[in-house]
Amino acid sequence: MKKLTVISERCTGCKRCEMACIAEHSDTKSYIFASLSGFEPKTRIFVDSVINKPVPVVCRHCDDPQCVSACMAGCMQKDPITGIVTNMGHEQKCVGCWMCIMACPYGVISPSFDIVQAGKSEFAQAIKCDFCPNRDTPACVEGCPNEVLAVADI
């Protein structure tokens, strides 16, 4: 199963991982256009800080995911083969109930109202790392200039 690894000592807080994530998950695949879209772009990887020391906080696609247990729509699932935990792409649809946000101990799931405001869905959606299913290497890993992030096969 693929997981992200983090060497936070190398992180300079430049946030290129966040920008790459936003770009990858936007319609135009461009951070700039995503920022100009009128909705606040949401990242699924976070460069938080401890005082002023940058620390990347990532979704770990847990083996026993709390978000999956908390999901009352049944849409948050862990793929038995790839191990990726995501609420998108399943028969059950996310209804924006925010139970997963309440359950994730790392705080890496965020509420997004954009899709409702854009009229594309009845429901707001919970947004989380999906390990970039359309890429060989996740966008954040590629975007990092200091080799902080990597993919490990566990």
Binding residues vs other proteins (CB under 8 A): 3-8, 10-15, 46-55, 57-58, 60-64, 66-67, 69-74, 91-93, 95-111, 122-124, 145-147, 152, 154
Nearest approach, Cβ of residue 48 and other proteins (Å): 4
Residue with smaller CB distance to other proteins, 27 or 119: 119
Q: Tokens 């909705």 appear where?
A: 39
Residue with smaller CB distance to other proteins, 10 or 114: 10
Helix (H) or strand (E) holding 142: helix 139-143
Residue with smaller CB distance to other proteins, 3 or 37: 3
Nearest approach, Cβ of residue 27 and other proteins (Å): 23
CB within 8 Å of 91: residues ≥ 6 apart = none
Contact 123, 53 (CB under 8 A): no
Residue with smaller CB distance to other proteins, 89 or 145: 145
Nearest approach, Cβ of residue 146 and other proteins (Å): 5
What single string gives the DSSP state of each residue in 54-99? EEEE-----SS-HHHHH-SSS--EE-TTT--EESSSSSS------H
